[in-house]
Structure 1
Amino acid sequence: MRIGLVVQRFGEEVIGGAELHARWIAQHLAETHSVEVLTTCAVDYLTWENAYEPGETRVAGLPVRRFPVARRRTPEGFDELSSKVHFFDHSDDEERRWMEEHGPVTPGLIRHLETRGNDYDVLIFFSYRYWTTFHGLRVHPGKSILVPTAEQDNAVRLRIFRDLFPLPAALAFNSPEERELLMEVSGAAELPGEVVGVGIEDAPVVPPDEIRRRLDVLGDYVVYVGRIEREKGCARLFDEFARYVREQAPHLNLVLVGKAVLPVPVHVNFTHLGVLSETEKLSVVGASRLLVHPSPFESLSMALLEAWKMGRPALVNGRCSVLRGQVQRAGGGLYYGPYEEFAEALTWLLSHGREADTLGRSGRAYFERHYSWPVIMEKYERLLACASAS
């Protein structure tokens, strides 16, 4: 089958959960299908500045066709407009202008879909909120699959998206909570598709003592994996963890893995390792006491899957329905609300090692049942059959 996979950014240098999700799905689909990635020339999602050359290239063996972004985003103007449409009364025209400012505005990609759309049997679009999906999905909706990666934030409730979610032949949801959310905001009694998610790539794992020595990580630690930014709950995590070690556990450390958009405070109990290889990342997670995930908005969380793949329990923000639901279904950790619950749950996990390990094993079993690559790709084959038959 000939598949065109549309995603806002694509490249081994690109950091982002949805983009990594798209890359791994593309690589696995390419084992049995002809896949071409259609994307922009941007690396930075804040400005959409063109960084790659337009045209045809290859990334990790995959054919990639890049289109230039027609306009840069100016954060100052975009932030003001975002505040207006997310928190105040506004018009439909302002929502449409928000989409143009949000970007990445890539008219060449849309023209390619219009003129060369018959080159593909199925089109797969990643992330509902970007210009490339908002306009691209409307060109050939009947043979399109949408991977929405929707979070329960204000953007998903904008009026301009109400008619988007019922358009594709099928949707690949990341969680039951995401499916329910999109049915609610679209007003649809049902949306075609399946809860699919994504697998986690295998990588050789380094023994705990060796990875601690290699990265100079000493003592017991909990680990955070992902982009370090306020929107992911990291500012709150910094405050609450600093309070916890001050009041209860002066020798416990917080190890952070990922790109820091929000500066990591200088603190004796904080260690920022930056962006690691897959081997190092999984090894650091495996050597931790547990994963902490403070984000209030997620559609899946690959970090949670990585923790369970490594048999580690998770402590997640219970205000995020997706994280709370995943932990409850898997029996793979605990969730918290206010600081007192965070401290109580963290203390219990640290002081009940055997029970915490049991939670980690339960999470691993859940991961293997639902997120192993054979399971994921079997679901994609059903979605492809649905879209190609429409």
Structure 2
Amino acid sequence: MKIAIVVMRYGEEIVGGAEYHARMIAEHLNNYCQVNVLTTCAKSYHTWANEYDNENEEVIKNIRILRFKNSKTRKVNNVLAIEEKIFGNLAHTKKDELDWINENGPNCPELIKYIEDHYDDYKAFIFFTFRYYTSYYGINAAKGKAYLVPEAENDPALNLSTTQEIFQNVNGILYNVPEERKLILNRVPFSEKEKKWDIIGCGISTSLPKQDQVLKIQQLNNYILYLGRIEGSKGCYQMFDYYLKLVEEDPSVPELVLAGSTSIPVPKHEKINFIGFIEESYKGSLLTNANFLIMPSPYESLSLVTLESLAYGVPVLVNGDCDVLKGHCLRSNAGLWYQNYDEFKECISFLINNKNITSGMGELGKRYINKNYSWDSVEKKYLDIFDN
């Protein structure tokens, strides 16, 4: 059986949630069938500029990677101008929506032509995220064999007629969490009864950190951890505001350690420790030694880092405005959520001052991951979808 994973960017240095999710699924499905990845030459999701070489096929962990050049770069101002028109105006046309898809990109007609030309070579094409050029045109080209991992957040693009087309044209939908499925069914008019579908998400693995990693991380002591891209859309501005206010009121609060790439300024403060991008192998050490993980994002479709924290037995504090994150907390009993500063303050106080309870929360988090996000379970669900 030969399967194609279609995703906007691909590579071990690509840390975006959807792209990382796609890479993990590709690597694990490759144990059961031949997996090819169809992707673009882009590294940056801001511009989709062609940075990877597509002259020679690349093999990463025994997976064949086929890269195709984008025909143009993404111009943010053009995208925003069209979004203002189509997201806030019910009277817009389908042409307006197609203009947005073409501008938002990654505009890669060569990839779509490959799907058309090699349709018979694959049993299935799995598309990651619903809102990009590669999914809209690719699903049309792969009709009859197309499956979608929507990665849907509370997004105005869910209201578009082109989004309705995507969900109408796929064979199957592989949701991440119940909240994502509910959101899509409430916003997108299509018949789910005609589709194969399941709530799957992504498998989560843990590994014991090496001793040199432990020694390095032990230099960090008594901290709250933020792990991931540091940007406004992830709720980081509000997190900084709340944390700095809290430190002013209570200087004994543990320091805030930030690990990841940043696209916004990190406040200069003695209790905010920005350590930058870290290798994947250090993630377990950082999580294991943290008091808890904070995830302030108001928009998530799964949040792999939240699940990884639970897998390591580390409680989480999340933005309660995100139904997906709140759902993880409710189902696992391994996290708390806040929706304003006072709740933020009280949750942090509780997590810091009730070690016996947080230890129990950590064990509940591990059980939640073992039950819902083990690789054995995720792999079986994917294979069942295709076998049926």
Which TM-score band applies after superposition, normalised by the shorter structure? Answer: over 0.9
Matched with 2:364 is 362
3-state SS in 2 of match to 1:137: helix
Q: Is the 8 A contact 1:163 1:186 kept in 2?
A: no
Supply the distance in 1 between the matched residues of 2:151 and 2:351 (Cα, whole angstroms): 30
Quote the offset at 1:142 in angstroms.
1.6
1:140 deviates by: 2.1
8 Å contact kept, 2:228–2:305 = yes
Q: Report deviation, 1:184.
A: 1.6
Q: Distance in 2 between matches of 1:240 and 1:80?
A: 32
Structure 1 residue 205 and structure 2 residue 209: aligned?
A: yes
Superposition pairs for residues 178-217 of structure 1, below 5 Å?
178-188=180-190, 190=192, 192-206=196-210, 211=213, 213-215=215-217, 217=219
Which whole-Å deviations, capped at 9, do the CAs of 1:297-316 have from their partners, x for residues lacking one?
00000011110111011111
Shift in CA distance, 247/206, structure 1 to aligned 2, threshold 3 Å: farther
Contact 2:158 2:188 in 1 (8 A): no
Is 1:157 the counterpart of 2:176? The answer is no
In 2, the alpha carbon distance for the partners of 1:371 and 1:299 equals 15
1:251, 1:177 → 2: CA distance? 33
User: How far 1:211 sits from its partner (Å)?
Assistant: 4.8
Q: Is the alpha carbon distance of 1:321 and 1:123 closer, same or farther for their aligned partners in structure 2, counting shifts above 3 Å?
A: same
CA 1:21 to 1:86, structure 2 compared with 1: closer, same or farther past 3 Å? same
Q: 1:308 to 1:186 in 2, by over 3 A?
A: same
Q: Deviations over 1:271-297 (max 9, x none)?
A: 122221222111101100001111000
Aligned position for 1:75: 76
Match of 2:176 among 174, 177, 180: 174
Partner of 1:334: helix, strand, or coil? strand
Q: Can you give the 5+ residue segments of structure 1 that lack an aligned partner in the other structure?
A: none
Q: State how far apart, in whole Å, the 1-side matches of 2:252 and 2:89 are.
A: 44
Name the CA distance, whole Å, in 1 between partners of 2:5 and 2:41.
Answer: 15
Comparing 213-222 and 70-79, the one that deviates more: 213-222
* Residues in 1 aligned to 2:199 and 2:313: alpha-carbon distance in whole angstroms: 23
1:82 is matched by which residue type in structure 2? E
* Preserved contact between residue 256 and residue 273 of structure 2 (Cα < 8 Å): yes
How far apart are the structure 1 equivalents of 2:147 and 2:220?
Answer: 46
Q: Do structure 1's residue 375 and structure 2's residue 350 form an aligned pair?
A: no
Instruction: Tell me how far apart the structure 2 counterparts of residues 201 and 97 of structure 1 sit (CA, whole Å).
Output: 40
Say if 2:216 is the partner of 1:219. no
Distance 1:240 1:86 in 2: 31
| Structure 2: gaps spanning 5 or more residues | none
Rounded to whole Å, the distance in 2 between the matches of 1:216 and 1:86 is 48
The residue number in structure 1 matching 2:58 is 57
Question: What is the root-mean-square deviation in Å for CA atoms of aligned residues?
Answer: 1.7
Measure how far apart 1:3 and its partner are: 0.5
The 8 Å contact of residues 39 and 66 in structure 1, kept in 2 or not, is answered as: yes
Verify: 1:292 aligned to 2:294, yes or no.
Answer: yes
CA contact (8 A) 2:3 2:36 kept: yes
Match of 1:116 in 2: 118
For 1:326 and 1:101, the matched residues in 2 are separated by 35
Give the conservation status (yes or no) of the 8 Å contact 1:204–1:279: no
**Matched residue, 1:303:** 305
Residues 285, 291 of structure 1: 8 Å contact kept: yes
Letter matched to residue 265 of structure 1: P
Query: 1:251, CA displacement in angstroms?
Result: 4.5
1:329-357 CA-to-partner distances (Å, cap 9, x unmatched) read 11111111111111111111111111011
CA contact (8 A) 1:219 1:251 kept: no
Q: Kindly state the Cα deviation for residue 60 of structure 1 after the two structures are TM-superposed.
A: 2.8
Give the superposition deviation at 1:167.
2.0
1:104-138: CA deviations, max 9, x gaps?
Answer: 01101111111111111111111111100111011
The CA deviation at 1:38 is 0.5
> 1:385 is matched by which residue type in structure 2?
D
SS at match of 1:223: strand
| Alignment partner, residue 11 of structure 1 | 11
Residue-by-residue CA offset, 1:197-220 (whole Å, 9 max, x unaligned): 00124433246xx65751574331
Q: Per-residue displacement from partner, 1:164-192 (whole Å, max 9, x unpaired)? A: 11321111110001111111222235353
* Deviation, structure 1 residue 265: 1.4
* 2:20 matched residue in structure 1: 20
SS in 2 for 1:49: coil
Distance 1:78 1:222 in 2: 36
Cα distance in 2 for residues equivalent to 1:65 and 1:184 = 36
Q: Which residue of 1 is the match for residue 67 of structure 2?
A: 66
* AA aligned opposite 2:240: F
Question: What is residue 47 of structure 1 aligned with on the other side?
Answer: 47
Q: Identity of aligned pairs, percent?
A: 36
The 8 Å contact of residues 166 and 186 in structure 1, kept in 2 or not, is answered as: no
Which range moves more in the overlay, 57-66 or 308-317?
57-66
Task: Give the secondary structure class of the aligned counterpart of 2:167.
Answer: coil
- Residue 47 of structure 1 aligns with an amino acid whose one-letter code is T
1:276 alignment partner in structure 2: 278
- In the comparison of the two structures, how many residue pairs are matched? 384
Which amino acid is 2:3 matched to? Answer: I
Task: Give the letter aligned to residue 76 of structure 1.
Answer: N
Q: What is the identity, as a one-letter code, of the residue corresponding to 1:46?
A: H
* CA–CA distance in structure 1, aligned partners of residues 171 and 115 of structure 2: 17
